[in-house]
Chains A and B, each alone.
Chain A
Amino acid sequence: MTKQILQIDGLSVSFGQMGERTTVVKDVSFSVGEGEIIGLVGESGSGKSVTAKAVMGMIKKPGAIDSGSILFRDRELTKLPPGEYRKLRCREISMIFQEPMTALNPVYTIGEQFAETVHTHLGYQKKQALEYGVQMLAKVGISMPETRLRQYPHELSGGMRQRMMIAIALSCSPSLLIADEPTTALDVTIQAQILELMKDLCHQNDMSTIVVTHDMGVVAEMCTRVMVMYAGRIVEISPVEELFADPIHPYTGALLRSIPRIGEHPELLYTIPGSIMTPGQRHAGCRFSPRCDWRLPRCDEAEPPIFAVNGERQVRCWRCEGGAAHA
């Protein structure tokens, strides 16, 4: 087993005013190994982005981390003062955003925004920063980097802007990259290029990556391990091949079944009946039980803990108590 770079244990995040807080992410535990690319999938509102932001220390008020620990290289991040956290960002942990269209400030040139980051963390002066910028842009596959650095964000295409975001995020060689839906806003051909690029850069720099996405294709393309989130809980953690071949949690199974396949022409695309439970909804049992095809009586009574299955896999389902089950 490789060394763990990030270890999250029992993380809970809630939002709201005093007294009336709603838990959005509950009891999330996982770890990321050095150089590992791990996927975090789930539908909208399942708490993926909140989990990612918690690692970045960017949960905005009225949100707050209620409990749990985030251990990064043996440093407890939940107790880190804001000033220390700021220095950590980009140097150690970096983030790529979903919308490259809005993640760059429209009134500054690409070069100025690149220089800002490099100046803050590495202390580069303007000329040095821009020369480094040319190198980094070339690295992320942007042609004519000198020209690009002088351009404003609106002069670049979406794919190029996302490459730019990657260049900024990787400028200080972080050891952990969090990509929050990095390809959602891009069209399919550009998606493939960006994913390939990210994969290459991760391997080159031996960087760990958490890919937050709702796209199973992205997961299959990039990751070695996947975490599936549902309604603020992690329901399954599994190596990629095993997850696709043999999903254990009923939700994972249903999720995979709802992906259309080329060559098959079903009358109706499979959908999971019902809709996701809102975070405020009270329910004693498993959050998925109202929609589950495999529901047992106890599923409505108590929430299942995480069970280890076949050594490497972890599943939050009562059917896995004591042994393996299949969905």
Chain B
Amino acid sequence: MILKTDFRQKRGFAHGLIRHLPGHAGLTAGCIILLFYAILSIAGPMIYPRIPENLSNVLKSPSAANWFGTDELGRDLLARVFTGVRIDFFIAVGGVGLAYFVALPFGLFAGYFGGKVDRAISVVAESMLTFPSTVLAIFIVTIFGSSVWGLLLTITVTQSPQLVRYIRGFVIQIRNMEYIEAANAVGSRLSFILLRHVLRNTVGNTAVVLSLLASEAVLVASALGFLGLGVQPPTPELGTILSRGRTYFTIAPHLMIFPGLFIALLILGFNLVGDGLRDKIDSKRTR
């Protein structure tokens, strides 16, 4: 018997996600917000005009020439906020992304093997979690230094232990599924089981956690900036801009309003995406 075989490419993951977007207002809104931030971060300098600083034009309210007004040194606030968005977005996404790569192997091993490996990893992760996160962040940022990379690493270090615990939990759920045993029974390699069977099934849940952690990361980064421990001026970071604007709040409220708005919107975007993904992925939760 000759059988003609034609193996159609299976539909991609991204395709499935986009197909599901309509019908969930929160997720759609979150995706649009994050897309907006992503475009702003990548193409920012090409979009907004470069207006040279002008010391005779300080603390001006929003106008046609300076849409967001100017700051205490006569710099265009729009340009500063957009650059700040770029920095904060980079710190949040980069920090959480790096944390994922750090946490992934630990979470996988702890969850899959259990026993002593699990106990060793869990003890370390949990003892890090006993510190209040802001205190830990302040402590670590003083080690790494108050730069963009310093903050990024701070986010990584403070969030890895949480992620390890989350991933460990997801892996434990999957580990006890019968198809893992079935894969063992047909003699699949350990690496294959871990990477293909276990990891793939945790991706959805992990994505939810990652987006929620990213919103927390924005908060931590801008809070450190506000406290003067974050990215140092003149580099515009949203928290730092906010902090400097505080001095002039009564005469130039736009100095706080615009950066504050952009921080809030970014956090909202991450949260909406996180919640939306959870609704989509967790079929057990009734909407």
Contact = CB atoms under 8 A, between A and B. Distances in A.
A33 to B, nearest CB: 23
Nearest to A127: B7
B182 A165 contact: yes
B67 interface: no
Contact of B184 (A58, A116, A146, A165): A58
Contacts of A109: 10
Contact of B7 (A87, A107, A150): A150
A211 interface: no
Nearest to A135: B3
Interface stretch (B39-47, B194-202, B205-213): B194-202
Given A90-B187, A97-B182, A111 B7 contact: yes
Interface stretch (B26-34, B127-135, B173-181, B245-253): B173-181
Interface in A84-108: 86-91, 94-95, 97, 99, 102-108
B168 to A, nearest CB: 17
B15 interface: no
B179 A103 contact: yes
A117 B189 CA distance: 10
A99 B176 CA distance: 13
Interface in A161-186: 165, 168-169
A168 B8 contact: no
B48 interface: no
B5 A130 contact: yes
Contact of B187 (A120, A127, A134): A120
Contact of A146 (B3, B10, B186, B192): B3
A122 B282 CA distance: 37
Given A103-B179, A150-B10, A86 B187 contact: yes
A182 to B, nearest CB: 13
A105 B186 contact: no
A261 interface: no
B179 A120 contact: no
Contacts of A130: 5, 7
A149 B178 CA distance: 20
A129 to B, nearest CB: 10
Nearest to A111: B7
A295 interface: no
Contacts of A58: 181, 184-185
Given A111-B7, A116-B196, A103 B189 contact: no
A95 B188 contact: no
B227 interface: no
A61 interface: yes
Q: Max chain B CB contacts within 10 Å: which of A91, A116, A130?
A: A116
Nearest to B203: A107
Contacts of B196: 108, 116
Interface in B143-181: 177-179, 181
Interface in A133-151: 134-135, 138, 145-146, 149-150
A99 B182 CA distance: 10
A150 B8 contact: yes
A121 B187 CA distance: 8
Given A104-B179, A146-B5, A86 B185 contact: no
A182 B3 CA distance: 29
A146 B5 CA distance: 6
Given A102-B178, A103-B178, A88 B187 contact: yes
Contacts of B3: 131, 134-135, 138, 145-146
B234 interface: no
Contact of A105 (B1, B114, B183): B183
B189 A120 contact: yes
A103 B7 contact: no
Nearest to A149: B7
A56 interface: yes
Contacts of A90: 185-187
Contacts of A117: 186-188
Nearest to A61: B115
Nearest to B182: A103
B201 A94 contact: no
A87 B187 contact: yes
Interface in B1-29: 1, 3-8, 10
Contacts of B200: 105, 107-108
A177 to B, nearest CB: 11
Contacts of A131: 3, 5
Contacts of A105: 177, 179, 183, 197, 200-201
A50 to B, nearest CB: 13
Given A116-B192, A120-B192, A89 B178 contact: no
A143 to B, nearest CB: 12
Contacts of A134: 3, 5
A89 B181 CA distance: 12
Given A58-B181, A102-B178, A107-B201, A86 B189 contact: yes
A134 B3 CA distance: 8
Interface of A: 56, 58, 61, 86-91, 94-95, 97, 99, 102-109, 111, 116-117, 120-121, 127, 130-131, 134-135, 138, 145-146, 149-150, 165, 168-169
21 contacts: A56-B185, A61-B114, A94-B186, A95-B185, A102-B177, A103-B178, A103-B182, A104-B179, A108-B200, A109-B10, A117-B187, A120-B192, A121-B186, A121-B187, A130-B5, A130-B7, A134-B3, A146-B7, A168-B186, A169-B185, A169-B186
